Amino acid sequence: MYLIDAYQEFKTWKKVRDVAFEHEELLIQNGFRVDWVGRIYTVINLPEEVITAAPQIQEGFVLMKLRDYDKLFLKLGLAAELVPEMQRIDADGAAAFLLVLCPDRDYVAVWPLIKFVFRMGIAALILRVLYVIGKHNLEFITSVWHKAIDLLM
């Protein structure tokens, strides 16, 4: 159910945000920053031998650097909630990746919300049509119901 899943994601986001703000100094000491939403991010510079390698090797290097911080995130209790997102920084002379760590966002987004509201609107419309039909034909429906019961008995 969308509402339950969205609520669970919101709770996870709130937990990550609260822990990130509470331990912001520790994260800064380890080279991370926290933005106003509660995402944890850093820039990982690539060494010379990795710059000329294939993009998959560069991304693998970034993920290996992230493994250096596993103990920190385990200590904070966020290791299971954080999902890494990488983006290459394409500035002149820059060979680096922006690494953003945030909780998974499958349900707390615009399109899933729009789809949920649309489906609920359709369901409400169908229920309303059935209610109006039932209300105007109540005598007929009850007579058919009683005849069906009499036939079964």
List pLDDT tens digits, range 83-125: 888 888 877 767 888 888 888 877 777 888 899 999 999 999 9
Q: How far is CA 50 from the centre of its chain?
A: 31
Q: How far apart are CA 100 and CA 143, in angstroms?
A: 65
Return the number of other C-beta atoms located less than 10 Å from residue 39's C-beta: 18
Q: 146: number of CA atoms within 13 Å, CB side?
A: 5
List pLDDT tens digits, range 17-43: 999 899 999 999 988 999 888 889 988
pTM over the 0.85 mark: no
Q: In whole numbers, what is the pLDDT of the chain averaged over residues?
A: 87
Tokens encoding 95: 């060979």
Looking at residues 124-142, what average pLDDT do you find? 92
State in Å, rounded, how far the first CA of the chain is from the last one. 41
Q: How far apart are CA 110 and CA 121, in angstroms?
A: 16
